[in-house]
Structure 1
Amino acid sequence: MLQKAFQRYINNFKGFSREIWILTIITFINRAGTMVLPFLSKYLKEDLGFDYDEIGTILMCFGAGSFLGSWLGGKLSDKIGFYRIMIFSLLVSGLGMFLLVYIKSFIGLCVGMFVLMSIADMFRPAMFVSLGAYAKPENRTRALTLVRLAINLGFAAGPALGGLIIMGVGYEGLFWVDGATCILAILVFWFLVKEKKKSSFQDKKHPGEVLTTSVFRDKPFWMFLATCLITGILFFQLFNTIPLYHKEQFGLTEFQTGLLLTMNGILIFFLEMPIVSYVERKNIDKVKVVSLGCLLMAISFFMLLFTQFVSILIIMMVFMTFAEMFSFPFSNSVALSRAPKGHEGRYMAIYTMSFSLAHILSPKIGMQMIDNYSYFSNWILMGIIGVIGTILGILTYQLIQKERAIKQLS
């Protein structure tokens, strides 16, 4: 029985091209080194002495850069190709991490974070487009999930190791490691993967389910993006307000916070691919699954209202992890499936921009709520926002069902 379950798990990883596996490996290298983000708010508060409002503003600039970078990455991927964008983005952002160590002023960090993330987040839409080029259409969701597994496996190792680096050499060590792994990852990609401008797996007979010719007229897509934006706002609380809450409410160390995030990554590594395969086999509607993920995120924040025992942090993280597994791989797939051929970059740019906007809003809303009211007020607000996102997801599902019915009648 155990052997059969193990074999079924292994079968989920079959059928990918060599390029997809290399993309997965470089993503793991890059993410394992991404230790700055989970501890950035703590670095700004404890090492540099900024107040909550200033931290929120710096993180807002981080998100604004991410927003611009996502748009540029998608637009340029359609024009000059994803390959060059990926190489430029990781190489230059890696070097930028080395420079960021020396910036300590408020204005300097606002500008530095904005410029760095404008370059760094050009990578994300380009990488999504590369999956469309190197993966067969029937493997696309699983390929997205495989890369997400690499992200989360790297992220499982990163925070715990990052906590040890902070305790050993200080926060600045994180910037050096992050920059070095960016450069290492893209050099591996450059040497092992050849540029492919057009996919040999283009499905010309079934160009997609999109009924509209312009992304700006695709109403279900924009409503779906609102749900994605909300899941992003909730999820990014893990990296700005929640680490501070761990310390101030429960006295957790950076290493203990890192371990909670490591648990998140390990659960995703073992469970996400089987969940995705199950949803694919049973042909469960992906928009429904994303809506369920948003609801679980809302519930996880309501759980933080119970402060009598520290174990609530573990339970909350388990709920958040399942929410993440339901939300993110399938939202990627829904966005990519609605893109007409040749416009994948534009669609994935707008999709990633929704998360970049979440990067802007999440810390600013969270930090201001904490500064003006309390942590409890923030958790209640996040829970309510999550319920709204769930309702929007259900409305999106209904719109798409109507769209399909009209298509069948015509």
Structure 2
Amino acid sequence: MLVNAFRRYLNNFKGFSREIWILTLITFINRAGTMVLPFLSKYLKENLQFSYSEVGWIMVAFGLGSMLGSWLGGKLSDKIGFYKVMVFSLLSSGIFFFVLQYITSFWGLCLGMFTIMTLADMFRPAMFVSLGAYAKPENRTRSLTLVRLAVNLGFAAGPALGGLIIMGIGYKGLFWVDGTSCVVAILIFALLVKEKKKTAIADAHQTVLEASSVFKDKIFWVFLFVSFVTAMIFFQLFSALPLYHSEKFGLSEFQTGLLMTLNGLLIFALEMPIVSYFERQKTNRLSIIFWGALLMGISFYVLLIPDWAGILILSMVLISVGEIFAFPFSNTFAMSRATVGHEGRYMALYTMSFSVAHIASSKAGFEIIANLGYQINWIVMGTLGIAAALCCIWIQKLLALERTTT
């Protein structure tokens, strides 16, 4: 029984091209080394002694850089190709991580975070576009899922290891590991993967909109709101929740890292089989995203149960399952709306929704916490999840109307 189950699990990983596997490998190396992000708010608050408001503003600079980087990455992917953008992004951001550890002033960190995220997040839309070149048409969602799997497997290893590094040699060790992982990852990519032009891929959901009409695509903009909200909820994992673990329950960095590792392990174990099942059943993407947004919202409502540390585990399980439902299929839905030759433009806006969410999640979250407390913040985040789920129903109605008029 166990052998058959394991064999079925492995079957989900068949059929990918060599380039997709290499892209997955470098994503894992890079993500495993990204140990700074889960502890960034704690580093700024507890190590550098910034106030909640100052931490929020530094995170705003972080998010603004991410927005600019996402837009530049998408535009440049259409202009000069995704390959050059990916190489430049990881190499330059890796080098800048070495420098960032020596910046400790408030304004210096605002500028530093803005710069490094501009460089680093050029990678994301370029990487999404690269899947159009290297993935087989029938494997697009599973290829996205495989890369996300690498992200989450790295995320499972990174925080726990990061917590040990902090306890052993301090926060500066994280910057050295993060920078090195970026440089190593892109060297592997440049050596093993040749540049390839993206080819047009037919999609059953491909829109008939003109390439210039991305800003007139109402459905896409409502969808971007859903992406923004689910990302905003998710980014609480990196801002409010680590501080909540410490201040409410007295958890150490290592214990917080273990909770983050639970998220990564759940994604690693469950996401590919779940995505493969939904693809075989041809389940409507927006219905899956609906349940993802709903579960992510509920994960914050359960935090309203006081004085029981076990609720942190339940909340992490709920947000992890919600993430499995929401993010892989939102990636694919965004690509399905893109017109041929302008995928970078669509994916830039899609990744920018995550960047805006990072700004809103950290700044709004910390302001709510500072003025009204953690409980009100959880209510706000949970309610936003419900709103995103309702918007999925609205998008389905808009899509039905679009099909009847085209």
* TM-score for the superposition, normalised by structure 2: 0.98
Q: Is the 8 A contact 1:208 1:340 kept in 2?
A: no
Distance 1:296 1:322 in 2: 7
Matched residues, number? 404
1: distance between equivalents of 2:245 and 2:306? 11
Any conservation in 2 of the 1:100–1:112 contact (CA below 8 Å)? yes
Paired position in structure 2 for 1:67: 67
- Aligned partner of residue 34 in structure 2, secondary structure: coil
Deviation at 1:390, TM superposition (A): 1.1
Partner of 2:377: 378
Rounded to whole Å, the distance in 1 between the matches of 2:9 and 2:214 is 37
Matched with 1:52 is 52
Contact 1:289 1:326 survives alignment (8 Å):
yes
Give, in angstroms, the shift of residue 287 of structure 1.
Answer: 1.1
Q: CA–CA distance in 1 between the matches of 2:184 and 2:352?
A: 26
Aligned residue runs from structure 1 range 122-201, under 5 A: 122-199=122-199
Structure 2 equivalent of residue 340 of structure 1: 339
Are 2:227 and 1:234 aligned? no
SS in 1 for 2:304: coil
What are the residue-to-residue correspondences of 1:299-310 with 2, within 5 Å? 299-310=298-309
Report Cα offsets for 1:281-307 as digits up to 9, x if no partner.
Answer: 111111111111111111000011012
Contact in 1 for aligned 2:89/2:121 (Cα 8 Å): yes
Contact 2:132/2:201 (CA < 8 Å) preserved in 1? no
Between the aligned partners of 1:31 and 1:367, the Cα distance in structure 2 is 26
Q: What residue number does 2:206 align with?
A: 209
Equivalent residues in 2 for 1:216-227 (5 A)?
A: 216-227=215-226
Following superposition, the deviation at residue 309 of structure 1 comes to 1.1
Task: Please list the CA deviations of residues 322-374 of structure 1 after superposition, one character each: whole Å capped at 9, or x if unmatched.
Answer: 01100110100000111111011111000000000001111000000011110
Alpha-carbon distance change, 75 to 207 in structure 1, aligned in 2, over 3 angstroms: farther
Q: Offset at 1:208?
A: 5.2
Match of 2:40 in 1: 40
Letter in 2 for 1:198: K
Runs of 4+ in structure 1 over 2 Å off = 1-4, 206-209, 404-407
In 1, Cα distance between equivalents of 2:220 and 2:196: 28
Contact kept, 8 Å, 1:208 with 1:339, in 2: the verdict is no
TM-superposed CA distance for 1:29, in Å, is 0.2
Q: Indicate conservation of the 8 Å contact 1:56/1:364, yes or no.
A: yes
Q: State the distance in 2 between where 1:69 and 1:27 align.
A: 18
Q: Distance in 1 between matches of 2:286 and 2:97?
A: 37
The answer to whether 1:360 aligns with 2:362 is no
What's the CA shift for 1:85? 0.3
1:233 aligned partner, one-letter code: M
Q: Does the 8 A contact of 2:236 with 2:362 survive in 1? A: yes
Corresponding residue for residue 405 of structure 1: 404
Answer whether contact 2:74 2:126 (CA < 8 A) is retained.
yes
The aligned runs of 1:285-304 (5 Å cut-off) are 285-304=284-303
5+ residue gaps, structure 2: none
Distance in 2 (CA, whole Å) between partners of 1:43 and 1:34 is 14
Task: Check whether the contact 2:56–2:366 (CA below 8 A) recurs between aligned residues.
Answer: yes
Q: Return the offset for 1:400.
A: 1.2
Q: Does 1:4 align with 2:4?
A: yes
Residues 68-120 of structure 1: CA distance to partner in whole angstroms, max 9, x if unpaired?
A: 00000000000000000000000000000000010000000000100110110
1:259 is matched with which residue?
258
In structure 2, distance between residues paired with 1:391 and 1:78: 33
Q: Deviations over 1:228-249 (max 9, x none)?
A: 0000110000000000000000
1:382 and 1:128 map into 2 onto residues whose CA distance is 28
Q: Percent identity?
A: 64
Question: CA 1:303 to 1:345, structure 2 compared with 1: closer, same or farther past 3 Å?
Answer: same
Amino acid at match of 2:267: I
State the alpha-carbon separation in 2 of the partners of residues 255 and 404 from structure 1: 51
Unaligned runs of 5+ in 1: none
Distance 1:52 1:279 in 2: 42
Structure 2 counterpart of 1:235, one-letter code: F
Q: Deviations over 1:171-220 (max 9, x none)?
A: 11101100000000000000000000233xx346x685203212112111
Q: Give the equivalent residue in structure 2 for 1:101.
A: 101
Counterparts of 2:281 and 2:319, CA distance in 1: 24
TM-score by length of 1: 0.97
- Conservation of the 8 A alpha-carbon contact between 2:292 and 2:325: yes
Secondary structure, counterpart of 2:194 in structure 1? coil
Instruction: Give the corresponding residue for 2:114.
Output: 114
